[in-house]
Amino acid sequence: MGTTTSGCCFPLRGSQAPTGPEVQLCENCKRLVLTEKEVIHMARTGMWEIEGYEMTDSSPDFPKLKESAENGCDFCLFLRNTLLSPEVDFDADEIPRIRKTYRDAGHQLLFHRAGYRMSIYDEGKLWLSFEIWIVHDATGDMELLPSLSLQDPPKPRVAPSQNALQSTTNLFLRQAIERCDAYHDKCKVGRDPAFLPTRLVDVRDENAVRLVEGFTIVGGDDASSSSAPKYAALSYCWGPRAHADQQLKTTDENIGQHLFEIPMKGMPAVLKDAIRATRELGIPFIWIDCLCIIQGNLQDWEKEAGSMHKVYGSAYITLCPTMSKSCLNGFLFRDPPSIVFPYHSLNGQPAGMYRIRFTRSWIWKMYLTVPHHPFAVDLISGSWVRRGWTFQEAALSSRMVLFGASATHFHCRTSRVTEGEDTETSVSLDDLGLFPLLPSTLSGDKLDEAWKHIVASYSQRNFTKHTDAIAALAGLAHRFHSLREKDEYCSGMWLSQLHEQLLWRRAMYEGISWGWFFNLLDPELPERVLLHAPSWSWIQRINIDYQYIRDSVLPTEPEDDGSDGHGDMSITPSPGLTDETLRLEWRLPGKSGDESSVVDRFMQFRGQELEITGFVARFPLANADKPLEVDELREADTNLFWKWTISGQYFCHTNWDFLSYTSWDRIDKGEFQHLRMLLLSSGRGKSSGEVSPGNAASSDGNISENGDVEEDDRTAFGLFLFPTIKESENGKFYRVGTWHSFCNGKGGFVRFLQYATVESLVLV
């Protein structure tokens, strides 16, 4: 017999149920044992929060867990070993606050709120998870670390096989690729069947691998048709520098040897698994960056970095080990930390067992609302989705195989499917926030919306070298430029859309230390502009956001691009902004537009300037009331978002690049007299009932009888500019923030024009 909910049958007991294991638990951990009674409770409520489980311990050694483990508690031993394992170290490397909490001595940690949760992730299928919440004494922040997934009986879904490329998986992938080849014509767009990279790894010999040059394959005996042979591409994480230094690489010194044979001895696990997967899928070649780009050769690196749109765009398949945290970790064998618990029936006797497996915590704020589907879980609990270089590798690929901790997945530009499931999920624009493989439909307004989604997601990625953020997006910029050849790529944005794309702002980010945000003008900004990218570019900032624009104005109607709806990007209308600049000129340093090479346009941002003629006003600090912090995301530490009033009437919202609200009392107010407000755009503002809570101002705007906002009462959007020289004799300015003003009180587009003057300014 079994208990059924949402069409999913739980095999709770019966003659086939395994015998319960011999597990010893302390009195505290005995509360964690799942029984049939709790499963029935979860079937009705979705969760079971365990009462009474609580323990306080201190980092970094967790002595109380150690003492309990030495006294025989298997779960305390498992929990301590997990917290001390490299699984936590990798999260700590990426989020300094977690490293400080779990690795520095003396921090008191409260383990509490243990519980099981049952979540529907697909029709008739459930995800059952076990979690322990940990509170840090110093800040009160709550971190889900670790998150433990229930896998063995009861089984809401099939437990993942230890072999990530078993025979059934191989069959699943081959069939998915064949379906895509046969029915997804749009997935072939942009994939050049005649292209081969400069170098590839030849895996046809079962006993050896070697590096081959692409032109020898096409022009030599290896060519069997007019089309180039198929090749796979690998998208993976090198890991921390200590691991990356151990990576097998092609250099000027050993390229001759690699063209003869690449030694398997010393090859990191991730490369060995990639070679095996390529062979299993029947593909003769694979492109791997560390072997196919000459490492340490700047000229070769720049040449190859500029052709990534072709390398990944023309690959037959891209392999993605989402569960591999570095080059030293393989991905074809799943063996996470786990513990087996006894399972009890209603009469209290053991009736079987279940296994709790460790999965990495979901530490990115942007992912807290993703569904509990294995595809989403595998992405957000891994390192691959957090690294900067892997973003464009996925975005440029026509299709990918993702080897996750929970399952193996196939994803193309039209749809995705997970091993063990029959349903294909169509790809949409909204998925770009989670997974950047571009949908098959890219045209018109959808290009602009897609780019803003890309910027928002890409800017949350991590780089070992932050300056790589420019090069790691160049291939994707190439791809977009091929779709909008008459446009210009301007330091991470597009010339035709600068009136909107310049309005980026820094949103919430877990890694921000607000103590550094106490200046209108960051003292390091002039040097960064001189050496790297202009102040108006987002390219070296983190956690960029455009959502506030969508929340503030009424949308335009979507274009009818003739799509058949299969793989369509989005049906959500984009916000309608009107360009209010009078003239905007983009300038490259020392070259006219025709003289600059294509590579320079996509790889070099230094020295670019914008000369804008438009409506400009001084910021009226002398007349303004003390600003109010805007808790726009309903969280405590928004800090960068403020609201201003004049004599109690609404004036505008400001979003600073470098100024935290907590620094208001100690900053030099005289700096505000140098600020300029430059108008860029306007849009039909939403009524007070339509504006999101953080954006809403007291409503006294002009509303027509039918409830629509009158055309003259538009919301204004613009930039805050700070002169490079205090009195701005040279007319050049740094960007230091954005502002938007609703048509309420003393705000709005029309009111701004009343006190603005026309000026020409240069943004550096």
Q: In angstroms, rounded to a whole number, what is the distance separating the alpha carbons of residues 371 and 17? A: 31
Q: In angstroms, rounded to a whole number, what is the distance separating the alpha carbons of residues 504 and 535? A: 12
What secondary structure does DSSP assign to 535-561, as a single string?
TT--TT-SSEE-HHHHHHBPBPPPP--
pLDDT at 570: 42
Q: What percent of the chain has pLDDT over 70?
A: 74
3-state secondary structure 470-532: HHCCHHHHHHHHHHCCCCCEECCEEHHHHHHHCCCEECCCCCCCHHHCECCCCCCHHHHHHHC
The pLDDT mean for the chain works out to 78
Greatest CA span in the chain, whole angstroms?
Answer: 87
pLDDT at 465: 77
Quick one: average pLDDT of 467-496? 88
- Residue bearing the bigger pLDDT, 272 or 48: 272
- Residue bearing the bigger pLDDT, 427 or 634: 427
pLDDT band at residue 274 using 50, 70 and 90 as cut-offs = very high
Give yes or no for a contact between 678 and 719, defined as CB atoms under 8 angstroms apart.
yes
Quick one: average pLDDT of 431-457? 75
Instruction: Provide the b/e sequence for 476-504 (b: ≥16 CB within 10 Å).
Output: bbbbbbeebeeebbbbbbbbbbbbbbbbb
pLDDT at 605: 79
Q: Model-level pTM? A: 0.78
pLDDT at 524: 83
pLDDT at residue 282 tops 90: yes
pLDDT at residue 601 tops 60: yes
Q: What percent of the chain has pLDDT over 90?
A: 34
pLDDT band at residue 141 using 50, 70 and 90 as cut-offs = very low
CB-neighbour burial class of residue 508 (10 A; exposed 0-12, middle 13-18, buried 19+): middle
- State pLDDT tens for residues 307-328: 898 999 999 999 999 888 889 8
Angle at 317 between CA 311 and CA 323, to 5 degrees: 105
Give yes or no for a contact between 394 and 318, defined as CB atoms under 8 angstroms apart.
yes
pLDDT band at residue 500 using 50, 70 and 90 as cut-offs = very high
Instruction: Provide the b/e sequence for 625-636 (b: ≥16 CB within 10 Å).
Output: eebebbebbeee
Q: In angstroms, rounded to a whole number, what is the distance separating the alpha carbons of residues 532 and 139? A: 35
- State pLDDT tens for residues 67-116: 999 999 999 999 998 888 766 665 554 555 555 666 667 777 888 778 88
3-state secondary structure 164-199: CCCHHHHHHHHHHHHHHHHHCHHHHCCCCCCCCCCE
CA distances (Å), origin 217, targets 63, 229, 517, 744:
60, 8, 55, 67
Quick one: average pLDDT of 374-390? 83
End-to-end CA, the chain: 72
- State pLDDT tens for residues 286-312: 999 999 999 999 999 988 988 898 999
Greatest mean pLDDT among 116-120, 728-732, 749-753: 749-753
Q: In angstroms, rounded to a whole number, what is the distance separating the alpha carbons of residues 427 and 222? A: 36
pLDDT at residue 453 tops 70: yes
pLDDT at residue 400 tops 90: yes
pLDDT at 757: 96
Q: In angstroms, rounded to a whole number, what is the distance separating the alpha carbons of residues 659 and 10? A: 54
Give yes or no for a contact between 605 and 470, defined as CB atoms under 8 angstroms apart.
yes
pLDDT at residue 150 tops 50: no
pLDDT at residue 30 tops 60: yes
pLDDT at 16: 30
Q: In angstroms, rounded to a whole number, what is the distance separating the alpha carbons of residues 232 and 436? A: 18
Residue in the structure block whose two tokens are 């502009």? 529
Quick one: average pLDDT of 168-173? 92
Quick one: average pLDDT of 494-509? 88
DSSP state of 50: P
Q: In angstroms, rounded to a whole number, what is the distance separating the alpha carbons of residues 191 and 201? A: 20
Q: How many CB atoms lie within 10 A of CB 216?
A: 15
Q: In angstroms, rounded to a whole number, what is the distance separating the alpha carbons of residues 192 and 97? A: 45
Q: Which residues contact 24 (CB under 8 A, 6 or more apart)?
A: 72, 73, 74
Helix (H) or strand (E) holding 452: helix 445-458
Q: In angstroms, rounded to a whole number, what is the distance separating the alpha carbons of residues 102 and 654? A: 36
